Chain A
């Protein structure tokens, strides 16, 4: 199982949870497990073709998956997947 950190803007879609446990062998699978459990998160994470939306940053532990293998990046037990959209509050 991996831990997914939910940003403030998505917590309404996860019943207020700021962390969700999810299973999967890749970042894509882990995120799909999240959207299966909390369907309202899907349209904010994924575009119409199933690709990760450009405005959503996803990190595996401390590395941006864009510089790894994107949604194909392998996930091990105990890894943390961080979803992080830009915030503009000041």
Chain B
């Protein structure tokens, strides 16, 4: 039995510790003060402050025969703690030389303040430097769930920038395949992906851009039978749909579920965008009580669209999403922003809540799921 307090304990370098940790079956003990631990610690490191070692080590490391690596800030406290652990009967203890400082110097990952890793601190540093965003704001983005309806002209640029910004979960609804004619504006796809599902193509691009993002593919069309369940999973919805039935359906369900919708549409050289936050401002039906007939509702595939303008509108949508997630700035609630690419002109119009609105008005009736998105002349819609 070892009873000495000055015996040699095993010291290992940070990279050796990293290899052992990766191999598994290691108990990792952090012997610093709680405020140091909060600032940054190794993943799975269990906090046992030096003054509480004798009392708390059994809870953190119940198996005295298990490989136990102990670290502190620079390696001194952990050396002493390792001696104490051996005195308490721990059989296989090592102190990490140089502590967490040496670990970080090697570029090894830590769980930093409030849950960001060192890699994330680096990746999002240009966000966290902004006082309006900061670490807290970045964490809000990493925890946010945003659904993009349409992975096309609007959804492609929106998804790319939301992914780069670190939106933690991005859902994509689209049932189309990538077509060569998409690539003039749908920058999330590429030539090699022609013929593959858009949701899959977008997921591959996002995963290569930012591994922090969890991409959820919804490779089908929204309809009254599935929309409530899907929308329920998300915090913010982005409407980049290419047809009126989906836009009205999305509006009706999002008002029901109290989900904010960032809605944009594009045609030729012109775009428009607004943000609909249920019961804080108007909804899509307050703005457009009824859809236009087919001859007034041409699609991009029939009329053409300037790819760059689609990108500009998509990024305006991404900007709205970030403001909603962060709770900063002034979202386009009750405002409709028009953009004309040829004259590079923005025009802002007021949008008022309609007291008679059948969906969000004062006397709007409760409607069953099957009635979401319906109009008496439903079949007259132009699809796509």
In the complex, the chain B residue whose C-beta lies closest to that of A5 is B347
Specify which chain B residues have a CB less than 8 angstroms from the CB of A57 in the assembled complex: 287-288
Specify which chain B residues have a CB less than 8 angstroms from the CB of A85 in the assembled complex: 292, 296-297
A62-B350, A63-B350, A64-B350 are contacts. A90–B152 as well, Cβ < 8 Å? yes
Specify which chain B residues have a CB less than 8 angstroms from the CB of A39 in the assembled complex: none
Q: Is B240 close to A, CB under 8 A?
A: yes
A64 touches B349 (CB 8 A): yes
Considering the chains assembled together, what is the distance between the CA atoms of A49 and B155 in angstroms? 40
Specify which chain B residues have a CB less than 8 angstroms from the CB of A88 in the assembled complex: 241-244, 247, 265, 291, 297, 299, 382
Considering the chains assembled together, what is the distance between the CA atoms of A68 and B336 in angstroms? 17
Q: Is B298 close to A, CB under 8 A?
A: yes
In the complex, the chain A residue whose C-beta lies closest to that of B241 is A90
Q: Is A36 close to B, CB under 8 A?
A: no
In the complex, the chain A residue whose C-beta lies closest to that of B292 is A55
Specify which chain A residues have a CB less than 8 angstroms from the CB of B288 in the assembled complex: 55, 57, 86
Q: Is B30 close to A, CB under 8 A?
A: no
Specify which chain A residues have a CB less than 8 angstroms from the CB of B150 in the assembled complex: 90
Considering the chains assembled together, what is the distance between the CA atoms of A85 and B269 in angstroms? 15
**B residues contacting the other copy or chain, number (CB 8 A):** 45
B290 touches A55 (CB 8 A): yes
- Interface residues in A68-90 (C-beta closer than 8 Å to B): 82, 84-90
Q: In the complex, how many angstroms separate the beta carbon of A12 from the nearest chain B beta carbon?
A: 10
Considering the chains assembled together, what is the distance between the CA atoms of A8 and B272 in angstroms? 12
- Interface residues in B252-271 (C-beta closer than 8 Å to A): 264-270
| Complex partner residue of B289 from A8, A9, A54, CB under 8 angstroms | A54
Q: Is A44 close to B, CB under 8 A?
A: yes
In the complex, the chain B residue whose C-beta lies closest to that of A56 is B292
Considering the chains assembled together, what is the distance between the CA atoms of A64 and B274 in angstroms? 15
Q: Is A24 close to B, CB under 8 A?
A: no
Give the contact-size bracket for chain A.
Answer: 20 to 34
Specify which chain A residues have a CB less than 8 angstroms from the CB of B153 in the assembled complex: 89-90
Considering the chains assembled together, what is the distance between the CA atoms of A64 and B287 in angstroms? 9
Specify which chain A residues have a CB less than 8 angstroms from the CB of B348 in the assembled complex: 62
B155 touches A90 (CB 8 A): yes
| Complex partner residue of A82 from B154, B240, B293, B349, CB under 8 angstroms | B349
Considering the chains assembled together, what is the distance between the CA atoms of A62 and B347 in angstroms? 8
Specify which chain B residues have a CB less than 8 angstroms from the CB of A7 in the assembled complex: 270
Specify which chain A residues have a CB less than 8 angstroms from the CB of B287 in the assembled complex: 57, 86
Specify which chain A residues have a CB less than 8 angstroms from the CB of B270 in the assembled complex: 7-8, 87
A55 touches B296 (CB 8 A): yes
Specify which chain A residues have a CB less than 8 angstroms from the CB of B268 in the assembled complex: 8
Q: Is B338 close to A, CB under 8 A?
A: yes
- Interface residues in A1-36 (C-beta closer than 8 Å to B): 5, 7-10, 18
Q: In the complex, how many angstroms separate the beta carbon of B125 from the nearest chain A beta carbon?
A: 33
Q: List 9 A-B contacts (CB under 8 A).
A: A7-B270, A9-B298, A10-B296, A55-B290, A55-B291, A55-B292, A62-B350, A64-B351, A87-B297
Seed contacts A55-B293, A55-B296, A67-B352; 12 additional CB < 8 Å A-B pairs: A7-B270, A9-B297, A44-B295, A54-B290, A62-B349, A86-B297, A87-B267, A87-B297, A88-B243, A88-B299, A89-B300, A90-B265
Q: Which residues from chain A sit less than 8 Å from chain B, CB to CB? A: 5, 7-10, 18, 44, 54-57, 59, 62-64, 67, 82, 84-90
Q: Which residues from chain B sit less than 8 Å from chain A, CB to CB? A: 150, 152-155, 239-244, 247, 264-270, 272, 287-293, 295-300, 303, 305, 338, 340, 342, 347-352, 382
Which 8 residue pairs spanning A and B have beta carbons closest together? Answer: A86-B288, A55-B292, A90-B242, A87-B265, A90-B240, A8-B268, A89-B300, A89-B267
